[in-house]
Amino acid sequence: MILMKKITSIDLFAGVGGMRISLSKALKKKGFIDDCKLYSEINVYSQQTYKENFPETKLIEDIKSVDKKDINLLIPDHDILLAGFPCQPFSRAGISKRKNLKRAHGFDDKEQGDLFFNILNILNIKKPKAFILENVQNLKTYRNGIILNQILKELRKNFFVPEPEVLNAQDFGLAQRRKRIFIVGFSKFNGEFKFPTPTYEKTLVKDFLDLYPPKKYIISDLLWDSHKKRKIRNKKAGKGFGYKLTNPNDKATVTISARYYKDGSECLLYRGENKNPRRLTPREVFRLQGFPESFKFSVSDLQAYKQAGNAVPINVVEKVCASVVSYLEKNKKNVLLIKKAS
């Protein structure tokens, strides 16, 4: 029988479990076991995929349904809180869409923008040893940094929170340019915290592609012609929007978003002269996010594209998680339950 240290966690706004997978990988390399007590996710299709991969974990669908007075009753004690809280109210695309629809954005978006305060209530009441929050890099500059400063001010009332860091998936072995901001915090100050340094592993887009992708992902003559005409129109109008052609030998794709399901125009794969390009397959998008081949999903392509596009880059989050656990290990009083693992 081997004694191993168990770290408990909860996974909020979990999507399909990217944050949890990242933490589990980091813990395993350090000789720990991940014991995720609960996840929250409101999208039924994401719930389906999460359950395929983690069938035993308790679900709370809507974290907004947990009243502040019920947090101790409904939310289990945990060592680390994970939360990739909704980025749409702060992303450039999300802000633009909301403006066009004359909807509020940022914290003023009552549907998604104020969900941070649900996280804050749980943190302040449950007081975990650490937390890891992830969002789009635009959060750093949104409204000249006022919103980020407000977030940090609230978090720092009860936690040590170093300055957030923007990290790029391409710098951590993924062939995708994807910058995300990470906010970490600790219940106890153990000295300076250092975010992970880039690994700069050399990869190419082709390293993440299927050898024999189904032909259905090759775009039709009609759609390809439409893409080319729209790009010409947009260029004449001074707009930068249009399809993006990616060569498999390129070092990275652009950021793959949840909108990829629409027509794939943000990343079309070059197949050679006089050949129509193709879209990435859902599995390829998950690979570009660092998900393992063992990751299961049985939803439609449309939903799989949304899930992969909304997910976190595993390679980056794993390194952040490893840095957080290393920081906790500095102070033995701050770490962890030791339990037997079978």
Closest CA to 167 of 67, 51, 311, 313: 313
Exposed/middle/buried for 340, CB within 10 Å: 0-12, 13-18, 19+?
Answer: exposed
293 neighbors 235 (Cβ within 8 angstroms): no
- First-last CA distance in the chain: 7
Of the residues 36, 87, 267, 321, only one is catalytic, namely 87
Verify whether residue 267 is a known catalytic residue: no
β-bridge partners, 339: 4
CA distance 14 to 260: 20
- Helix-helix angle 44-53:301-310, to 10 degrees: 80
Residue type, 313: P
Return all residues near 105 (Cβ < 8 A) that are at least 6 apart: 89, 90, 94, 95, 98, 99, 113
Catalytic residues, which ones? Answer: 87
